[in-house]
Each structure stands twice: as structure tokens, then as C-alpha cells.
Chain A
Amino acid sequence: MYEGAVQDLIDELGRLPGVGPKSAQRIAFHLLAANPADVRRLVDALTQVKEKVRFCRVCGNVAEAEECRICRDPRRDQASICVVEESKDVVAIEKTREFRGRYHVLGGAISPIEGIGPDDLRIRELLARLQDGAVTEVILATDPNLEGEATATYLARLLGPLRLRVTRLASGLPVGGDLEYADEVTLGRAFEGRRLLEA
């Protein structure tokens, strides 16, 4: 145990995800030895993230205004919405530069064993966005794991009567991987989703 402020800092750092007691101690002593200007920048960044950042009222993504940058951008395709679990997924898809529509962040996935049901996600808000008929395609980009697949199944059933094009991201082999290491479910999905190669 250290005295006062140092121990308080170690305790606070230790509450962060993925930071154990040893890591917390290392970071605390790094900060203690760091340039005061560097520490001030870190403090400002922490304060501002809590003060400025909120959730976009349209899509639920993190934003610094009422609406996020993507929802405000008139060049984005208004006819397609890509449904993701978390804001992190928006960043991952944006990096691909393949999608020019808008997003909807659910805030998680349906997980009965964790007590998370459809009412705990932003599904009502998604349905409200689809009311005016401007959206013609909904892309379900939830994680390709059990919870993500079940959430996609639930949404597909819910959106079925709305006469929209409801699509799901393809599953298959990771680029750069070895076929022999692919598990049976992934390889099976890759076969299901195989495509024709034009000569």
C-alpha cells in the first residue's frame, strides 16, 4: 500500500477494464514521472470526453452534437441503414470505405443468459426511423457470434412485414488465413455463401 494520492490513483486505474493491480501501479508511476504538461493533456482529454461526448439522437453513435457526423452528412445514402451492436463497429465499417449509407447502433446484442432482451436495445428507435419509407435496405451487421446471429434473426423477423430489403453481412474465411484452420461452422458458411467467378 502506498500513501494517499498515489494509492488513490492506483485504485482508480485498477478499476479500468483490462488493467490489473500491477499494470495500475506501472501506469501510476509513469504518470508520476511524466511531464506535467503531458498529464494535463490527459486530464483535459478525460474531462472533455465526459463533458462533450453524447449519443446521436438519430443513430445512437457517439457524437459531439445532437447528431453525429455521419447523420449530418447530406452526401450519405439515405436509403440504407447498417445496424451494428456498438459504436466501435461503425468505425470498423467506415474503415472499409464500402458503405455510404447511415448507421443504427443497437447498444449491444440480445443475450437471454445475461438478461438482455429486445427491450434493452435501441430497436424501437430503429423501427421509428423506418416509418417514413425513405429507407429501402437494412443491413444487419451484428457480430457473427451466437448473440449477434440471434439478434439478426429477431430483427429479420420483426422487419419482414415492412417490405424492406433486409440483408446480413456475409460470413466466411478471413483473408490471409489458412483453410485448414477454419472451424466447421465458418467453413460451412463460406460454402453457403460461395459466389460465381466470371471468366
Chain B
Amino acid sequence: MTLVALYRDEGVVLRTQKLGEADRIVTVLTRGNGRVRAVAKGVRRTRSRFGARLEPATRVDLQLYEGRNLDIVTQAETLDAFGARLAGDYPAHTAGAAVLETAERLTAEEREPALRLYLLVVGGLRALADRRHPSRLVLDAFVLRAMASAGYQMALESCTRCGAPGPHGAVAVAVGGVVCPRCRPPGAATPAAETLGLLRALLGGDWPAAEATSERVRREGSGLVAVHLQWHLERRLRSLPLVEGG
């Protein structure tokens, strides 16, 4: 007799894809098992017992059994329906989609535990759903911290190359952050000092300072964060150009 490997974990649904007549493949970032792809059978039928539980941006308690290629979802209970709350606020919805896509791209290998990233995704979605801060700032804070947890922290204090103490005014994304005048490579950007202050505030969680910035500074900060993310991922994120400020 073969024993079916059943396991239970909590996770956030990152993406869903249609499969056959009424099934879906769900990509879930789990707390203990990293990114997992699993089949949810019959989920697209209106009478599905999973219903809205396996929609993107929902935090769920899952029971799965291990399949040969894909696992199979056998039970799902909602822990937080972030997606349903985000759908009513278009800017927050687009920022949430970018959070999910970033998390998927940062987990290159399936089943590689990524607890810190998981906690950041849950925190980011909760902040967006609760409308705690402007959605674009929440997204940028998430990206900066998620990149840091993946080993791509944007250097914002000392020179990335020689370690000379800052503050420095130039940013070279290819090098990894701020650079001193001696190390500055051709093509490095020179953002406003307030923009670098905003990025430091977002990385460190200083929300009063981040929210005190002007729209122009936020736009410049978002641009730098997007370039930093896409440079290190070596690909463009589809959702980023569609993110609305808010």
C-alpha cells in the first residue's frame, strides 16, 4: 500500500491559471514550503467548495497532497481575503498585483523555504487592504525590503564600491546603490536628496517621514525602486507599468 504524502501549510495565492474545463493551477507562496504549484479541482464551477478561497492575494490554510508534478489542493480555509478587499480600490489592487508578481519572481526555485519573504508579502497586502499608507509607497517599501531579504539590498548610506561613508548623491543601480564621486560610473543617476531620504525611510519603516514627501519625490523614488528590481531580476515585471499612484 502506498501512503499519500499529505501536508498542511498556510500561504498566499500569488497567481492562478485556468486548467481544462473547470480546474485551476494555483501558485502559492507558503510559510513553510516556499513557492508551491498545485491543482485546485473544480474551482471554477459556481458550486465549488473552494469558492473564492483560492483567488489571488488570499491568505489560506491549505491541505495538499504531493503529486508527481503538481500537488493537489484537498482543503482550503480563508485566513485573510486580502484580494477581495483590494478589488474595491483600483490603485491598491494594481500595487497588490505587483507585490504578488515580485514575490513570484524572487522565488526562483519551487519548495525553497522563504519565510521572510512570506511575512513581507502578508504585511504588504495587509497594509494595502487596510489603506494604512498610500499604496505606491507600500509597494516600494515592500520591494526594497523583499530585495534586501533576497540579498539585493539597495545601499543607501555608504558608497557601494569603496564603503566611503555617506551621504552620497549618485545612484548606480548596476553597482547596487549609492556611489561616492570617485567610484561613480558613467550613467549613474543623481536623484534629489529627498528621494534618497524617502528610500531610506521606506526601507527602515519610518512612515511619517515617507508620507511627508512630495508627489515628485515619490515618483522619482518609485522609478529608482523599479529599475533596481528589474535590473537584479533581469526581467521586466508586467504589472509595474500598470500600477496607479494612490
Contact = CB atoms under 8 A, between A and B. Distances in A.
A163 B233 CA distance: 45
A16 interface: no
B238 A184 contact: no
Nearest to B239: A112
B148 interface: no
Contact of B56 (A113, A176, A184): A113
Nearest to B51: A183
A150 B93 contact: yes
B71 interface: no
Interface residues of A, number: 25
B224 interface: no
B242 A115 contact: yes
A33 interface: no
Nearest to A117: B242
A95 interface: no
Interface of A: 18, 110-115, 117, 144-146, 149-150, 153-154, 157, 174, 176-177, 181-186
A183 B241 contact: no
Contacts of B78: 183-185
A115 B237 CA distance: 8
Given A149-B84, A153-B93, 17 more contacts: A112-B97, A112-B239, A112-B242, A112-B243, A113-B15, A113-B97, A113-B238, A115-B242, A117-B241, A117-B242, A149-B88, A153-B87, A154-B90, A183-B51, A184-B53, A185-B51, A185-B81
Contacts of B238: 112-115
A113 B101 contact: yes
B100 interface: yes
Interface in B81-122: 81, 83-84, 86-90, 93-94, 97-98, 100-101
Interface string B217-246: 000000000000000000000110111000
Given A113-B100, A146-B55, A183-B50, A153 B88 contact: yes
Interface of B: 15, 20-21, 46-47, 49-53, 55-57, 78, 81, 83-84, 86-90, 93-94, 97-98, 100-101, 238-239, 241-243
A176 B90 CA distance: 33
Contact of A113 (B21, B52, B86, B239): B239
Nearest to B236: A115
A22 to B, nearest CB: 14
A146 to B, nearest CB: 5
B52 A185 contact: yes
Contacts of B90: 150, 153-154, 157
Ranked nearest first, the 6 interchain pairs of A and B with the lowest CB-CB distance are A115-B238, A183-B51, A149-B87, A112-B97, A112-B239, A185-B52
Quick one: which of A177, A181, A183, A186 has the most chain B CB within 10 A? Answer: A183
A146 B83 contact: yes
B56 A146 contact: yes
Contacts of B56: 113, 146
Nearest to A182: B51
